[in-house]
Amino acid sequence: MIDIRNFYKSFGKLKVLDGINIAIDSGAVFAILGPNGSGKTTLLKSILGMVIPDSGVIRIEKKSIIREWKYRNKISYMPQVANFPPNLKVREIIKIFKIFRSEISFENDLIKSFNLESSLEKKFSTLSGGTKQKVNIVLAFMFDSPIIILDEPTTGLDPLSLIKLKKVINDYKHLNKTILVSSHIMGFVEEISDRIVFLLDGKIEFNGTVDQIKKNTKKNNLEKSIAHILNNKND
Ligand code: ADP
Ligand code: MG
């Protein structure tokens, strides 16, 4: 369980997170939605301790993460942009992750599933955007972490890989993991999410199920619901 309480973060004068409260349960997929620059990445990085709040607290399993670091080995993280030293081959990057984490890993099935066998000996920097993204998916799902944070994992994926991503997320969810994901693909979010948190102007505009947001906005799909909220705000 991840509990975010009275969380504030500004960069200079820009209030990015302006009093956020969220309780995130295990065994569910939480989608973090919001327009560009609404603070999704900042919120996800805060859980990892990569962003330090101005005030507020994040607790994981009831323990504050402030000045802690060991809890991070319970988390797998797929950053929005992952950069590795350009000369490293995919196989070497996977190996380095295994050395860092020193726990059992399950990369082989993922490599097969995402058709990455022929990319293993290639330098990461030479891969296409979609293939880089698939390597990042393998790195995020190869460990048995109770918490998985995926920051825009759908970017650049081909349709078949998107289906595979939905499957790994679903399989993980059924292992009682906590999954946090941000994405701009509303169809994807609608299919995989149990709950959505919609960020707007530093605050939570909506926190609930996909069905609830559709009902509240009287729309038959999530994309229309989100557009409805944004249009009403601009009026
Ligand atoms: P999102 O992921 O929702 O697109 P971000 O969390 O990346 O949004 O960014 C939210 C806002 O905070 C943006 O205006 C961004 O420019 C700003 N921001 C993020 N990180 C920093 C930083 N380290 N320094 C200054 N501004 C930042
Ligand atoms: Mg982002």
pLDDT at res. 158: 94
Give me the percent of the chain exceeding a pLDDT of 90: 92
Check residue 52 and give its pLDDT.
94
Query: Which residue, judged by its Cα, is nearest atom 27 of ligand 1?
Result: 11
pLDDT(235) > 90? no
Give the angle 134-179-7 at the CA atoms, nearest 5°.
120
Can you tell me the mean pLDDT for 21-28? Answer: 93
Residue 122: pLDDT over 90: yes
Question: Residue 173: what pLDDT?
Answer: 92
For residue 78, the CA-to-ligand 2 centroid distance in Å is 12
| CA dihedral sign, ordered 107, 112, 113, 116 | positive
Q: Which ligand 1 atom minimizes the distance to the CA of 43? A: 6
Across all residues in the chain, what is the average pLDDT? 94
- State the ligand closest to the CA atom of 13: 1
d(C-alpha 161, C-alpha 181), whole Å: 16
Where does ligand 1 bind, in terms of residues with CB under 6 Å? Answer: 11, 14, 16, 34, 36-42
Q: 147-185, pLDDT tens digit by residue? A: 999 999 999 999 999 999 999 999 999 999 999 999 999
What span, in angstroms and rounded, lies between the C-alpha atoms of 129 and 219? 34
Long-range contact pairs involving 103-110 (C-beta distance under 8 Å, separation at least 24): 103/73, 103/143, 103/144, 104/143, 104/144, 105/142, 105/143, 106/141, 106/142, 106/143, 106/144, 107/138, 107/142, 110/137, 110/138, 110/141, 110/142, 110/168
Test site for ligand 1: of 10, 11, 78, 81, most ligand atoms within 8 A of the Cβ: 11
222-234 helix and 210-217 helix, angle to the nearest 10 degrees: 50
Predicted local confidence at residue 41, as pLDDT: 97
- Ligand 1: which residue has its CA nearest to atom 15? 37
| pTM of the predicted structure, to 2 decimals | 0.95
Predicted confidence (pLDDT) per residue in 179-212, tens digit: 999 999 999 999 999 999 999 999 999 999 999 9
Residues 6+ positions from 211 with CB-CB distance below 8 Å: none
Q: Is 35 exposed, middle or buried (0-12, 13-18, 19+ CB in 10 A)?
A: middle
Nearest bound ligand to CA 45?
1
Going from the Cα of 38 to the center of ligand 2, the distance in angstroms, rounded, reads: 8
State mean pLDDT over 34-38. 94
Q: Given pLDDT bands bounded at 50, 70 and 90, which one contains residue 2?
A: very high
pLDDT of residue 79: 95
Q: Residue 81's pLDDT is what? A: 87
Q: Which ligand ends up closest to the CA of 32?
A: 1
Give me the pLDDT at residue 199, please.
Answer: 96
